[in-house]
Every structure is written in C-alpha cells, then in structure tokens.
Amino acid sequence: MAAEQAPAAAGPHLPGSSAPSVSFELDGQRACVPAGSTLLQAILERHPAFPHVCYHPALGPIQTCDTCIVEADGRRVRACATPVQQDMCVVTDSERARAARREAMDRLLRDHELYCTVCDNNNGNCTVHNTALALHIEHQKYPFTPKPYEQDNSHPFYRYDPDQCILCGRCVEACQNLQVSEVLSIDWERERPRVIWDHDVPIQESSCVSCGHCVTVCPCNALMEKSMLGEAGYLTGLSPKLLERMIHLTKVVEPG
C-alpha cells in the first residue's frame, strides 16, 4: 500500500527516486541515512527523545533554539541544520555538546514561566515541557523575567501570551512559509523581541486568516486555542486568582 510518509510540505523530493545514502559515525557506531538527511533526522532515528524545540518536520530547520547542538568532527553544530556527510564523526553526548544544549534551554526558559502543573498545554505533547525533562533541567540558570507586553486575546479562536513565548519562531515559519499568509514575524530588534502580527497590530486587526497553523506548531502554551484554556491540563478550571497563586506555588516546587 502506498502510505504517504513523505510530507508534501517537506520540499521537492520526488518519491520513488532512489536516493543515494551516506554513512557516518554516530556516538561510535556506524549509521547509514539517505543523502540529504540532516544530523537531527539521523539522530532522531536512533534516539527519538533527542532534544530539539524549534525544529518541526513540516517546517524544516529554523535554527533559533540551539537545543539540538552536537559535536560533528569536533565542532559544535546545530544538528537540525547540518547535513550528514560521508564519514562524519558525530558525538551527541560530549560534555561540550551537553553544556551547549543545556545553556540553550536555560536561555529559552528565561522567556517562559514554568507553571506546568496548572498549564492547559501540559497534556503529553508540550515540546518545551518534554525537552526540559529530557535535558534534566532542575535548576533554572536565568530566572524568568516577564516581557513588557499584554496577552493578545483579541482573536475569537486563539490567544498569544508573550510571557510564555520562547521566540522559537515555529509559528512565524508556519505562517510565512507553510500557510504563506505572511502575517507573523518576530521583531528581533526590540529590547525584548516578540511575535507580531502584520506590522504590529492586535491579532484580530491583522491579515490573519485563522488557519491555525501557528497554534498547532507552537511548542508550548504561548499560542493556544481559547477552547483549551481552563479545560485541558491536569489541574484546569481554576479561577484566575487561584491560578495565579498556583502558578506562584508551582514555581517554587517545579524545575527552575
């Protein structure tokens, strides 16, 4: 049966074209992957839980999060954006690579208030939560600091919470290059960057076509369906005031 594993969005590879393969060394073992594969794709074949945040198979490498860094031929590289080359020697577990990934995650968490216990996105598929666990983050090196922006609740179907946004840019990539409505961008030059709609207007006033791509690819709870709020976490349906206190409490006991 012709199951269609190759995502249509992934690029111009024709199915059936017998792609040549390359072999390389991964953590001391030989591995063989189709030519053109990235290191991250190759690593995920062997270690499905290998950390990565901004990479999504429908979007390709975005290179904003730095959490997938490995050593390739002695140099630290982003696995998501590095093509596998013949006889390359790749080490995922070196001290330097681990430190880089850990530092990257610490940087992300500076932009993300950890209140997973009461979060509506904590239902198994929160990429940030899972990656923090995979990296054994127990202490947050850079304390979370709020961004000087209000939540945007203007859209009827979804909200944007800048304080939860790790600026991975998945939403931007999805909007610019998969949906290609070209609404979202990150204003990188601000003191505290954030995702903006059009030229920085409330979502409801923008050219957003409400396709939902951005919400679907958001690796945390920054972009959430409003219908999920207060409904889908382990401890949901809390009043805003109680939620705030719970968030405060969980920050004491949770990683970070």
Partner 1 sequence: MARVRRTKTVCTYCGVGCSFDIWSKGRTILKVEPSMEAPANQISTCVKGKFGWDFVNSPERLTQPLLRRDGRFVPVSWEEALAFTASRLRKLRAQYGPDAIGYISSSKCTNEENYLMQKFARAVMGTNNIDNCSRYCQTPATEGLRRTMGYGGDTGSIHDIAQADLVVVIGANPAESHPVLSTRIRRAHKLHGQKLLVADLRKHDLAARADLWLRPRPGTDLVWLCAVTRYLLEQGWVDERFLAERTTGLAELRASLAPYTLAYAEQVTGLSRRDLLRTAEMIHAAKRMCVLWAMGVTQHRGGSETSTAICNLLLVTGHVGRPGTGAYPLRGHNNVQGAGDMGCAPLYLPGYERVDDPAVRAKYERAWGVPLPENPGLDNHLMVEAIHAGKLKGLYIMGEEMALVDSNANHVQAAFRKLDLLIVQDVFFSKTAQFADVVLPACPSLEKDGTFTNTERRIQRLYKVFDPFGESRPDWQILCDLARQLGADWRYQHPSDIMAEIASLAELYRGVRYDRLEGYRSLQWPVAENGIDTPLLYTERFPFPDGRARLCPVTWQPPQAFAAEYDVHVNNGRMLEHFHEGNLTYRVPGIAAKVPQPYVEVSPELAAERGFADGAKVRLVSPFGEVELRATVTDRVQGNQVYLPMNTWRDHEAVNYLTSSECDEVTHTPAYKEVAVRLEVVEPSGPSPVVHGNFRLGHPHPQRGVEVERKWQRPDYRPLVDEPPQV
Restricting to residues 150-179, which ones interact with partner 1 according to CB under 8 A? 156-157, 167, 169, 172-174, 176-179
Between 27 and 210, name the residue whose CB sits nearer to partner 1.
210
Distance CA 11, CA 61 (A): 12
Smallest distance from partner 1 to CB 180, Å: 4
Q: Is 254 in the site for partner 1 (CB under 8 A)?
A: no
Q: Which of 122, 100, 124, 102 is nearest to 113 (CA)?
A: 122
Distance CA 256, CA 113 (A): 9
Reading the block at residue 247, the tokens are 């968030």
Between 75 and 241, name the residue whose CB sits nearer to partner 1.
75
Contact 159, 223 (CB under 8 A): yes
Residue 209's SS3 state is coil
**Footprint of partner 1 on residues 203-242 (CB under 8 A)?**
204-213, 215-217, 225, 227-228, 231-232, 234
Distance CA 223, CA 226 (A): 9
Q: Is 45 in the site for partner 1 (CB under 8 A)?
A: no
Burial 33-52 (b: 16+ CB within 10 A, else e): beeebbbbbbbbeeeeebbb
Among 23, 57, 142, 248, binds partner 1 (CB under 8 A): 57
Between 21 and 188, name the residue whose CB sits nearer to partner 1.
188
Amino acid identity of residue 32, one-letter, is: C
Neighbours of 234 (CB within 10 A): 11
Among 34, 36, 193, 255, binds partner 1 (CB under 8 A): 193
Contact 55, 40 (CB under 8 A): yes
Q: Is 91 in the site for partner 1 (CB under 8 A)?
A: no
Smallest distance from partner 1 to CB 114, Å: 19
Among 180, 242, 244, 248, binds partner 1 (CB under 8 A): 180
Show the site string, 103-142: x = touches partner 1 by CB under 8 A, - = not: xx------------------xx------------------
Stretch that binds partner 1, among 7-15, 40-48, 111-119, 139-147 (CB under 8 A): 7-15
**Footprint of partner 1 on residues 15-44 (CB under 8 A)?**
15-16
Q: Is 145 in the site for partner 1 (CB under 8 A)?
A: no
Smallest distance from partner 1 to CB 155, Å: 8
DSSP letters along 150-183, please? --B--SSSEEE-GGG-----HHHHIIIIIS----
Among 52, 78, 112, 129, binds partner 1 (CB under 8 A): 78
